[in-house]
């Protein structure tokens, strides 16, 4: 089985726990997730099975949407409610307008410092593991350039604020809350988080682990999962001529005079590649002068 399942991760489970559960339910060893969700967080976690695991990094690169609850007046060492309180301050002087302005400050291309309690690696070791083992001095936090496309405030009931974040990959919503707390001067932390969208996957088209097991027993897994081709459907395509397929499948680069059909434009960088009506995989476009070529990237038919 080479499919993608959009699973609703429950609170209290790690992303690896979900992978283990899916592996057990489906009795398939080759299973991987597409971007870690913190144990306390819930929501959309695409799980790739079989050859679809080659898609993991492509799904990971997609923009994401989160629904976050932030609590002001308290800062924790993990930036969320699972951590130890390290700072508290009276917030009675903070107004709704103050909170709105602080959140606006987070929108756009920004340099964001990740939390020390994160899965980012330093010399091959997760930062959170280094902190917990008393080796925090080995960590040198470096900011990362991310994009917050928009923040939409849903509710303000001080000290709690609920907002939706539309952001690029690599964004830590915990850091948004922490940074807002610093702007306000009273501290803040993320008290709840749900990922509602990543790429084409949404809460509405996702299933729980219990539903996955039910659909497995009912032989209805195909109806509740996605093919590799479906996941990549927004990409333009190239149809190769028959005499180019073998060379391409061996990792070769094919020039455009050996394309039978295409629908990419000048801005296209990645394409779906077909042989006759069969989806082969993805390719990367290069343009040297007036010569356009496609380089074999990921093959899904072998």
Q: Which residues make beta-bridge pairs with 42?
A: 194
Q: DSSP assignment of 272-293, as one string?
A: EEEETTEEEEEEEEEEETTEEE
d(CA 248, CA 259) in angstroms, rounded, equals 11
- 38 is known as an active-site residue: yes
The tokens 């690599």 sit on which residue?
Answer: 170
Q: Pick the catalytic residue from 38, 80, 98, 179.
A: 38
How many Cβ atoms sit within 10 Å of the Cβ of residue 254? Answer: 22
Check if the beta carbon of residue 143 is closer than 8 Å to that of residue 111.
yes
Residues in CB range of 136: below 8 A, 6 or more apart: 116, 130
Residues in CB range of 224: below 8 A, 6 or more apart: 5, 207, 211, 212, 215
User: 165 exposed, middle or buried (CB, 10 Å; 0-12, 13-18, 19+)?
Assistant: buried
d(CA 194, CA 64) in angstroms, rounded, equals 11
Q: Which residues are catalytic?
A: 38
């Amino acid at each position: 089985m080479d499919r993608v399942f959009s699973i609703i991760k429950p609170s209290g489970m790690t992303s690896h726990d979900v992978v283990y559960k899916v592996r057990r339910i489906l009795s398939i060893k080759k299973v991987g997730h597409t971007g870690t969700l913190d144990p306390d967080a819930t929501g959309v976690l695409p799980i790739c099975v079989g050859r679809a695991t080659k898609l993991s990094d492509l799904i990971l690169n997609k923009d994401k949407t989160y629904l976050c609850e932030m609590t002001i007046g308290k800062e924790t060492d993990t930036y969320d409610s699972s951590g130890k309180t390290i700072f508290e301050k009276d917030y009675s002087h903070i107004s709704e307008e103050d909170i709105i302005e602080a959140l606006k400050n987070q929108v756009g291309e920004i340099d964001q410092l990740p939390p020390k309690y994160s899965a980012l690696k330093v010399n091959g070791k997760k930062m959170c593991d280094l902190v917990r083992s008393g080796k925090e001095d080995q960590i040198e936090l470096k900011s990362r350039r991310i994009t917050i496309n928009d923040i939409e405030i849903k509710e303000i009931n001080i000290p709690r604020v609920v907002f939706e974040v539309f952001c690029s990959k690599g964004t830590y919503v915990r850091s948004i809350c922490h940074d807002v707390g610093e702007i306000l001067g009273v501290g803040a932390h993320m008290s709840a988080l749900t990922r509602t969208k990543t790429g084409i996957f949404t809460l509405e088209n996702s299933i729980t682990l219990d539903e996955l097991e039910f659909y497995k027993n009912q032989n209805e897994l195909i109806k509740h999962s996605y093919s590799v081709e479906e996941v990549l459907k927004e990409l333009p395509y190239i149809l190769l001529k028959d005499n180019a397929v073998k060379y391409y499948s061996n990792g070769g680069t094919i020039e455009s005079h050996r394309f039978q059909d295409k629908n990419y434009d000048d801005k296209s960088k990645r394409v779906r590649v077909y042989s006759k009506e069969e989806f082969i995989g993805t390719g990367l476009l290069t343009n040297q002068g007036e010569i356009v070529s496609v380089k074999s990237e990921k093959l899904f038919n072998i």
